[in-house]
Structure 1
Amino acid sequence: MSHYDQAKKDMEEVRTTLADAVARIRANDNYSAEGKRREIARVTLTAREAANALKTDHANTRAQRRSQLQRELFGSPSDASSIILLRDSQDRAAALKDPEQADAMMQRAIQSGDTYLAKAVAQVSINHGWNDPVRALAHHDPDTGELINELAELPEGPRTVGTDKLVFRVPNASELGDADDEGLARMAGTYSNQEKQQAARVLREYSHTGNVGV
């Protein structure tokens, strides 16, 4: 299951709810063309606030899970002798220059039953994107391998920013052109807290879950 599957489902709900609200506004003859554009801008801003809240929650969940996995896999042991062994293993793994060296060290660690060295090599390999040593450990120790694979699949870095932006994007209706949030705020005009809550209610009216809005 992709890390983004649930986020995509949540955002599909936001976009569907927004589309329904926009359709209702368009069909309301009590609004002038300018009034319709204002109301569409308002519900779009509300939908974007909901999307931003989802994005923040998604990022926090991802960071918490990453920290949890790193503690489970690479956290320091409690006794002094094991700490010394772990640090020595980490120093040896940190000196690795390429995936071939890492794979060779991983094979030695597996053959000798050196779990500290195996995990240290796996940690360095994940950071460098060296797949073979990680696969070797996963094959030897499926339970540890499952955690390592999950950690390796958690997105991070510059590409994550771009993917987050795409996944949590709320498109503009045609009436809004390519206006950004600042432009939408100008179209929406004076936007009191009461009006903001009203726009959120419009979205919730068309939400299948009732969780969309702010």
Structure 2
Amino acid sequence: MRDAVAVGMATGAYGVAFGAAGVAAGFSVLQTCLSSLLVFTGASQFALVGVIGAGGGAAAAVGSALLLGARNALYGVRLSGVLGWTGWRRLVAAQGMIDESAAMALARPEPRAARLAFVSTATSVFVLWNLATLIGAVGATAVGDPAVLGLDAAAPAGFLALLAPRLREGGGVWRVAAAGAVIALLATPWLPPGVPVLLASFGVLVAVRTR
């Protein structure tokens, strides 16, 4: 429980940046808060507001968000046997299936401890992430023009923060990052905002081919 609260506080603080980024991208406070309430997966939310803020269309924004959120489905497959829930419990658990709750649950070998870790972490992150989103969105609205304080850079900064731990692993991760960056740079001058992000995912294929 103590670990879950600590994870929630760290993740929740990051939600302030998303709230500011949502308003900077042109979303209202309500729209930004509904994104955290209903979507509830940080990377996908940053992708959505990042593409819209750059002038991209809804299809590219949603496509980018779905691409990044697809990993949560894989977490669900891995944890379905560990948690052992069915019916409405499984439906509720799907909303809380994020990086933090999955990692905390998988770190506990005993089923009861895994379920407690999952529930406590998902609840902690959900409450604090949504609260922080509201604070960031209201704060950015009070500023007037979020770009004045550099809040329009919150989305790309968030992506860098998400990538940094993976890049420190080295090896194949660097090949994937480099291939994706090259694809995005080549596509950006010719395609609408958001589409280069989707195409960058094919960097995985390039990296695998070079192994």
The two structures have a TM-score, normalised by structure 1, of: 0.28
Q: Could you say which structure has the higher helix fraction?
A: 2
The two structures have a TM-score, normalised by structure 2, of: 0.29
Larger gyration radius, structure 1 or structure 2 = 1
